[in-house]
Amino acid sequence: GSLATRENIYPICFDPTNSESVSTACQRISRDFAPVYVLVNNCGILSNTLAAETSIEDWRNIFAQNVDSCFLMSRELLPPMKERKWGRIINTCSLAGKTGGVTTGIGYASSKGAVHTMTFALARESAKDGVTVNGIAPAYIRTPTVELYPDEMVDMLLKYIPVGRFCEPEEFAHTVRFLISPLAGFITGEIIDMNGGLLMS
């Protein structure tokens, strides 16, 4: 069945790159609903620019959205997870963080590399307290953004993906569901690749 319905989704607007905004939002969630046991860091922006075309302002914005957001959310929610001796943190990583990217630029690839390393560091410091921290590294999920790619780019990318298609959003969601389930209680500090075999091609 579905993981969520319209009745149990509650959107909260806040700035995940701002420490005070993150703290206020997390306190509100814990106060109005329940303690947070599962955190999925899925905030981020894409950038395809090369090094010479990337301004320092763009670089800092990419890292703020892709790295700072993960750090701030984890810093806020990890301590109470440790106190309760149970928690799950899932970071959205990327194939680009391992390879430098097929079509992505230096800022995006570098930021996702940082998220990979952050995943390992968080997992190491929290394992003894019953909290697992893992990442999922997809390549080209069929989102509205990917569906805007020109046909020639889609054809080029699919040539590199052995299964011959993009990842479906539901496949990513089911991987998250697995990692937060009792079946994955012994898995921590791992980056799960979801790239249709692209990494081996």
Select which of 37, 108, 140, 149 is catalytic: 108
Residue 114: per-residue pLDDT: 98
* pLDDT tens digits for range 22-48: 999 999 999 999 899 999 999 999 899
Superfamily name with CATH number, domain 12-200:
NAD(P)-binding Rossmann-like Domain (3.40.50.720)
The pLDDT of 60-83, averaged and rounded, is 98
Q: What is the Cα–Cα distance from 95 to 199, expressed in whole angstroms?
A: 8
Q: What is the Cα–Cα distance from 166 to 160, expressed in whole angstroms?
A: 11
Beta pairing class for 38-41 and 191-194: unpaired
Q: What is the Cα–Cα distance from 9 to 86, expressed in whole angstroms?
A: 22
Confidence of residue 147 (pLDDT cuts 50, 70, 90): confident
> Is 37 labeled as catalytic in the residue annotation?
no
* Greater pLDDT, 35 or 9: 35
- pLDDT at residue 4 greater than cutoff 60: no
CA 44 from centre of chain: 8
* pLDDT tens digits for range 125-136: 999 999 999 999
Buried residues in 74-96 as b, exposed as e (16+ CB within 10 A): bebbbeebbeeeebbbbbbbbbb
- pLDDT at residue 1 greater than cutoff 50: no
The pLDDT of 5-15, averaged and rounded, is 82
* Greater pLDDT, 53 or 4: 53
> Taking phi first (over 0 means left), then psi (-120 to 50 degrees means alpha), and beta for anything else, what does residue 22 get?
alpha
pTM comes to 0.92
